[in-house]
């Protein structure tokens, strides 16, 4: 019997090692907030491999970063759920910013997404400050079965963001928000959104509003903390509350916070933190 060494197999397949991280975003504490995978690439890899890695990590999103050789603070970034590529992910952007600013010791990072969206981040005292786009919503009607799927009896308002394909539903209070127990199978039959955001005005002085984010249509049931949803929520609640600066909390099991500042009709500053939990090498 011929024996083949592991070394010879690796030589034949030309394995590439990818620095891979798991980073908890929108939190000051480990094991809270929203975990993202971040892969720091030495060269471009194919979409099938990126999707395979995202599926293997099985986190809500995994970001793939490739540094611009002629401009070290600039990176291309792509986002994958375990099942599909998506255009934009806030918590994976924050996780990526944490990695670049802290480990690569850069004063600023600028990302360009696969859809040519420009994002940037800097260290701001104990937080990371990011510039996100700001999206408006329009009034929207859905089938009553969609409300039933999320146990919503008396919605205050239902809005839609075409830019992100996101449905937003306001409910009367945080107690109603926390009581939601979705029927995901029913939800899948009633829409094809990227996310459904359910939100409520705060009654306390710590936060301005609360939210939860459900994404069964892209392979995620409930997202722990969702930066992209606040690109919609900031405009929505800013108009209602008459505020440019707000503090938000996403009321998932893990939970997470962010400080929001509306810069212009199209730009939002998001400030929060992230924790690097795990670092290793993946061979593909």
Q: What is the pLDDT of residue 125?
A: 86
In the chain, what are the helix, strand and coil shares in percent, each to the nearest 5? Answer: 25, 40, 35
**Cα–Cα distance measured from residue 129 to residue 266, given in angstroms and rounded to the nearest whole number:** 17
Compute CA distances 14 → 7, 18, 153, 253, 282, whole Å: 10, 13, 57, 42, 13
In this prediction, the residues of the chain whose per-residue pLDDT falls under 70 are 1-14
CATH topology classification for 6-133+272-283: Diaminopimelate Epimerase; Chain A, domain 1 (3.10.310)
E strands, the chain, where?
17-25, 34-41, 62-68, 71-80, 85-86, 108-113, 118-124, 127-133, 138-139, 157-161, 166-170, 195-201, 209-215, 220-223, 245-250, 256-262, 267-272, 274-283
Q: Are β-strands 166-170 and 195-201 bridged in parallel, bridged antiparallel, or unpaired?
A: parallel
Q: Is 148 a catalytic residue?
A: no
Domains 6-133+272-283 and 138-262 share a fold: yes
0.75 surpassed by pTM: yes
Nearest CA to 227 among 245, 211, 205?
211
Q: Out of 3.30.300.30, 3.30.365.10, 3.10.105.10, 3.10.310.10, which CATH number does the structure's domain 138-262 have?
A: 3.10.310.10
Catalytic residue among 29, 61, 151, 245: 61
List the chain domain ranges: 6-133+272-283, 138-262
Residue whose entry in the numeric block shows the structure tokens 């539903």: 169
Q: What is the pLDDT of residue 6?
A: 46
């Amino acid at each position: 019997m011929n024996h083949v060494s592991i070394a010879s197999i690796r030589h034949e397949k030309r394995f590439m090692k990818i620095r891979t991280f798991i980073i908890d975003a929108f939190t000051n504490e480990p094991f809270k907030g929203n975990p993202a995978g971040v892969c720091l690439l030495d060269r471009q890899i194919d979409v099938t491999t990126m999707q395979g890695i995202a599926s293997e990590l099985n986190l809500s999103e995994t970001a793939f970063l490739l540094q611009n050789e002629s401009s070290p603070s600039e990176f291309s970034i792509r986002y994958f759920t375990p099942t599909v590529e998506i255009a934009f992910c806030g918590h994976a952007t924050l996780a990526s910013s944490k990695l670049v600013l802290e480990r690569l010791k850069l004063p600023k990072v600028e990302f360009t997404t696969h859809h040519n969206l420009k994002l940037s981040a800097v260290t701001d005292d104990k937080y990371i400050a990011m510039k996100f786009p700001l999206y408006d919503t329009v009034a929207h009607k859905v089938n009553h079965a969609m409300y039933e799927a999320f146990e919503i009896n008396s919605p205050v308002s239902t809005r839609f963001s075409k830019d992100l394909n996101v449905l937003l539903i306001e409910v009367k209070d945080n107690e109603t928000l926390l009581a939601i127990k979705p029927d995901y199978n029913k939800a899948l039959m009633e829409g094809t959104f990227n996310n459904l955001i359910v939100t409520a005005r705060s009654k306390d002085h710590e936060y301005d509003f609360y939210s939860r984010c459900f994404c069964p249509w892209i392979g995620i049931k409930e997202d722990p903390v969702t930066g992209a949803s606040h690109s919609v929520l900031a405009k929505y609640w800013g108009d209602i509350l008459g505020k440019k600066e707000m503090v938000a909390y996403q009321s998932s099991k893990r939970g997470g916070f962010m400080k929001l500042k509306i810069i212009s009709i199209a730009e939002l500053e998001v400030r929060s933190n992230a924790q690097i939990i795990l670092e290793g090498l993946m061979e593909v």
